[in-house]
Structure 1
Amino acid sequence: MLKNISIVVEMEESGKVELYITYQVYCASWKPCYDIRASSAEEEEDSQNGSSVQLCYYGLVEQNTGDDWKDCDIVLSTCSASLGGSPPPLSTLSASLHSSRPTRRHHASSAARRKAPLSIPSEEDMGFGSFDYNDIVDAAAYHRWHNGQHCRSSEENSVSTQALENTVSTCFSIPRAVTILSNAVEHKLLIVKSDLSCAFSHETVPSRSTSAYLSALITNTSQLPLLPGAVAVYVNNCFVTKTHLRLVSPGEEFRCNMGVDPSVKVEYKTPTRSYEQVGFMSKSTLMTHEQLISVRSAKVRQSVKITVKEQIPKSHDDKIKVSIVSPEIKSSSSSKNSASPPDARLNKDHNLEWCVVLAPGQHRLLPVRYTIEHPASESLSYKLN
């Protein structure tokens, strides 16, 4: 359905007039998505240069407004009306003495109190009547007019962004004119390509899986906030996995999992357990658990940093004593005074954790040995928390 507007302009003298019209429509939206691309060649760079991944920042735009947008300058805004409203009121918390003597309660009044709402929501609490669209609409229109010519002449992988004044949002200007038809079909528009610095590492939990999983700790070295959205991860131009990105501000770090690295081999040997009776007055059973974990790097030129995790039982009973014989676990105080960090430690989940650096082609064995002593008249049971 077409609608017309009439504008009457009164002028004292004849001249040329340019009118910029801003209006609001429904059934138009966008959401961010990303491609993160890494390659083994980047991992092989010199440590002084550092490693990096390429992040492609996209906006998925769709509209079903009834009008086709042909050769338009698109500005994507992070402003959301759902963030409007006021904070909930905070009443005074009073403390008083409560008598321990039982008192009679009337069922009718108790039922009425149960049915009564805690508070009556206002329009501001529900997000109505507190957001003014004119600010963001006028700012976006001015931003489009002011930067329109610059966006057309910029390169395809460049971006023009600006945190608009008087708003709590960021605007992304698409650096070329695009056509988006009114058919509710998503259009993938490139906002920017950025090379972000990162540090690659591996992790394995051999008791659950003998695969070594590659991940990258990425720093958002760009000037743009990374909004929550879907991420497609590629390694050496091959699709690996899909994940989801949380809100990442400029300068903030986030971790991206990149799947299994077949060039790091992990072997979990079959564990052995032995039992013996100890004690004179009160008999106890001493169980000795021995385990061997093998890690090997098949890479030719680059070192591998890998974290290996193994479960260690945690005692919640004074009658059960768990002692780690191997590897040597250093306390946090001794590790601070030491020139080198400890090779193995107990993490917050009471799991044994090694941080191992493997040279190209290096093979290393990680022995695990611990004992559990408990009364001979009782048996042990294990439970995962």
Structure 2
Amino acid sequence: MSSPILLVASNDDLKSVTIFKSDRAEVTRYFSVALQSGQNDIEITGLSSYVDVDSVRVTGLGDARLFEASCKVQKREVWRKSESLETSDSERIRILNDKKTALTQEKNVCESAATLLRDYGKTLSGEHITPADADTFLDRYLARGSALARTVAKLDEEILQVKREIEDITAEGSLKKGETAGKVNVTVMAKSQTEVLLKLIYVVRQARWKPSYELHAHADESGVPASSVSLQYRATINQTTGEDWRGVTITLSTASPSLIDESIPELKPSRISPPYQRPVAQTTSFGFASVRSRGAQPLQSAPTGALFGSALAATGSGPHTENEEEDEAELVDPPPAFEPVTSIAKESPLFISYKIDGESSIPSDGEDHKVSIADLPFQATISHVVVPKVKAVVYLEAKVKNASDYRLMPGPVNIFFDNSFVSKTSIKDIAPGGEFTCTLGPDMGTRITYKRSSKLEKDTASRFSEQYATTTYTALTTINNTHPFALTKLVVRDGLPISDDGNRVRVILREPSVLAEAEQGEQKEVGEHKVAWCSPSGRKDGLYEWQCALEAEKEVTLSTSWDVKAPADVKWIETS
């Protein structure tokens, strides 16, 4: 029986890696193997210690037949002893140190030869050498000396490169996380001597990716925020498999493969039955407990409570007295044979894969490494938005439509305006054709002044009516556009207080009066402006917004007025 073919996994045989979002990755390697006629035993070492031993697949054998393929993770002490000398960092450093020593010795020889040549030249004098011989010596001295100087310089450069390689290996070894104790044994039957390109595929843990984005917006030459934006779709990859993936093709997948047995769940029948009852003990006149139970009564659903009211209690059928309550059996939870059913929605979306252009390098260091998925040009609707009641600052807001074929996964977004970082946000799952909004930072060219005043009035008390106190509030928002261009879409958001006790304390909107008549989602015109309740429940919460257009270097003031009316002896406060 021939000796086994020993192969060590390295970066040379690594071709592609598919990284999933569920802490998994699929690795593909190719090995050129010379097979002999008959049985061939192949041993592949240097694989990740986090390999799934049941995921190994071997293909690419041509006419040869796969007889057996197995995988295991060696024990740490065994792996340390059997670790390949050719791939271990200590052995690589030893070889490089030997090379550096040889180069240093060669350099010393050259320097000694140069010193000897120089010393020999000092021994020559005009009494013992003719001018012709002196010219010949000088020519040889210059040629030999120049050659030695070039050789020394070349050796210095080679020594420097070796030192850098040693430093790189040392640094990688200190940063590298994970071990490579995985081993695959393959038995192949070949009809004749042949050479095959063995393809090894396996799944490892400790690898993951997550999406991230950069949104770049800019202003045109006149300072107007441009409607065109660029979204840079990135992926952040992190892995500690023990394998360094350098110069390989990376594919990112949204699939979540499971390393446990997955099967279609079994549907079991469900039944409706009376609730279980716990017998209630009754004490007899003799002090002994007697057990008494009653038939289960169907429960009626409790009526739904009104918005500001409370729900009525659930009642059984027929009259109910205190004595009957003592006699009734207590309803208890049934045994855990069947759990109450709740409404749960589950979605099984299609898997999405992104193949990264070019070759990527992802070392096993536990650090985040970013790769580019796509640069997507989008169109955005730019608005100027201010919430003066909270902060008197106007912000640029972009509503971006995903006009690409890419599905944008949930992830953080770094926002840049004119190449300057302005803010961070995040997006949810955005399908092609969907929209998302983000803030592009404050607009320092639009000034805001917000003033709020109040006036208290009390009704005249009488014997036949309760005295009421009315506080009238007025909120004035002044917007000054100092830009040389118009603000085509200016949104001003504000809110009215909502009474928790509408029977005692009432809020009455005075201005703009048309807002009180507006339905949710309906816009009302107030002069040149429009006002509407904010979505989705602004009318219920008292939140509304103005929509205006403001010419360059112009100013506008928006006014809102409302009354808070309550009995004079009722104290109330406004909170947010």
TM range (shorter): 0.7 to 0.9
- Residue identity in the other structure for 2:560: V
Partner of residue 531 from structure 2, selected from 333, 341, 344: 344
Aligned to 1:378: 570
CA deviation profile, 1:342-379 (whole Å, cap 9, x unmatched):
71234422124211222222210111222233333434
The answer for the alignment partner of 2:491 in structure 1 is: 307
Query: Kindly tell me: are residues 335 and 80 of structure 1, through their superposed partners in 2, closer, same or farther at Cα, counting changes over 3 Å?
Result: closer
In structure 1, C-alpha distance between the alignment counterparts of 2:572 and 2:566, rounded to whole Å: 8
Corresponding residue for 2:177?
A: none
Choose the corresponding residue for 1:255, options 420, 433, 437: 437
State the 1:332 CA deviation.
3.7
| Higher mean C-alpha deviation, range 370-379 or range 180-189 | 370-379
- The answer to whether the 8 A contact 2:528-2:548 is kept is no
2:55 paired residue number: none
**Maintained 8 Å contact 2:514/2:524:** no
CA distance in 1, matches of 2:270, 2:440: 48
After superposition, the Cα gap between the structure-2 partners of 1:117 and 1:44, relative to the gap in structure 1 and judged at 3 Å, is farther
What is the alpha-carbon distance in structure 2 between the residues aligned to residue 382 and residue 34 of structure 1? 41
- Contact 1:63–1:184 (8 Å) recurs in 2: yes
What letter matches 2:511 in structure 1? S
Is the Cα contact below 8 Å between 1:297 and 1:304 reproduced in 2?
no
1:317 equivalenced with 2:509 (yes/no): no
Number of the residue aligned with 1:298: 482
1:36 maps to which residue? Answer: 215
The equivalent residue for 1:8 is: 188
Shift of 1:192: 0.5
How many angstroms apart in 1 are the aligned matches of 2:264 and 2:478?
57
Alignment match of 2:449 (pick from 267, 271, 274): 267
**Displacement of 1:270:** 4.5
What's the counterpart of residue 97 of structure 1? Answer: 298
1:363 and 2:363 aligned: no
Distance in 1 between residues matched to 2:269 and 2:530, nearest whole Å: 50
Number of residue pairs matched by the alignment? 331
- Amino acid across the alignment from 1:97: P
Q: 1:382 Cα deviation (Å)?
A: 2.9
1:147 alignment counterpart = none
Residue 75 to residue 344, structure 1, CA distance change in 2 (3 Å)? same
Which moved further from structure 2: 59-68 or 86-95?
86-95
| Partner Cα separation in structure 2 for residue 232 and residue 327 of structure 1 | 39
Corresponding residue SS for 2:405: coil
Deviation at 1:186, TM superposition (A): 1.9
Aligned equivalents of 2:567 and 2:220: distance in 1?
Answer: 57
CA shift, 1:62, in A, is 2.1
1:197 maps to amino acid: Q
Gapped regions of structure 1 (runs ≥ 5): 121-165
Q: More deviation in 201-210 or 277-286?
A: 277-286
Instruction: Name which of 363, 366, 371 aligns with 1:184.
Output: 366
| Whole-angstrom CA distance in 1 between matches of 2:221 and 2:433 | 21
Please list every run of 5 or more consecutive structure 2 residues that lacks an aligned counterpart in the other structure.
1-180, 275-296, 300-315, 341-347
The separation in 2 between residues aligned to 1:71 and 1:4, in whole angstroms, is: 23
Q: Relative to structure 1, is the Cα distance of residues 115 and 220 closer, same or farther in structure 2, using a 3 angstrom cutoff?
A: same
Match of 2:378 in 1: 196
Q: Secondary structure at the match of 2:236?
A: strand
SS of the equivalent of 1:8 reads strand
Q: Whose Rg is larger? A: 2
What secondary structure does 1:21 align onto? strand
Q: Assess, with a 3 A threshold, how the Cα gap between structure 1 residues 2 and 94 changes in structure 2: closer, same or farther.
A: closer
Calculate the aligned-residue CA RMSD, in Å.
3.8
**8 A Cα contact 2:507 2:562, kept in partner:** yes
Residue of structure 2 in register with 1:130 after alignment: none
Q: TM-score, normalised by structure 2?
A: 0.50
Give the Cα–Cα distance (whole angstroms) in 2 for the partners of residues 90 and 287 of structure 1.
64
Q: CA 1:322/1:61 → structure 2, altered by over 3 Å: closer, same or farther?
A: closer
Once structures 1 and 2 are overlaid, which stretch shifts more, 85-94 or 176-185?
A: 85-94
Greater CA drift, 75-84 or 174-183: 75-84
C-alpha displacement of 1:77: 0.5
Q: Which stretch shifts more, 367-376 or 187-196?
A: 367-376
The match for 2:253 is 77
Compared CA separation, residues 93 and 336, structure 1 to 2 (3 A): farther
> Do 1:335 and 1:342's aligned partners in 2 also have CA atoms closer than 8 Å?
no
2:202 alignment partner AA: Y
What is the CA-CA distance between 1:259 and the residue it aligns to?
A: 2.7
CA drift at 1:239: 0.9
Question: Cα gap change, 1:227/1:346 in structure 2, threshold over 3 Å: closer, same or farther?
Answer: closer
In the other structure, the counterpart of 1:145 is: none
- Which residue of 1 is the match for residue 414 of structure 2? 232
- Mapped partners of 1:364, 1:93: distance in 2: 67
Q: Structure 1 residues 44, 279: closer, same or farther in 2, change over 3 A? A: farther
Residues 1:60 and 2:239 aligned together: no
C-alpha deviation, 1:306, in angstroms: 2.2
Measured after TM superposition, the shift of residue 291 of structure 1 is 2.5
In 2: Cα distance, 1:22 partner to 1:35 partner: 34
Identity %: 25
1: CA distance, partners of 2:263 / 2:461:
69
Q: Is the 8 A contact 2:452 2:473 kept in 1?
A: no
More helix by share: 2
**More moved, 186-195 vs 251-260:** 251-260
Quote the residue 1:246 is aligned against: 428
Alpha-carbon distance in 1 for matches of 2:457, 2:377: 56
Helix, strand or coil for the counterpart of 2:220? helix
Whether the 8 Å contact between 1:310 and 1:353 is mirrored in structure 2 is yes
The verdict on how the C-alpha distance between 1:45 and 1:290 changes in structure 2, with shifts beyond 3 A counting, is closer
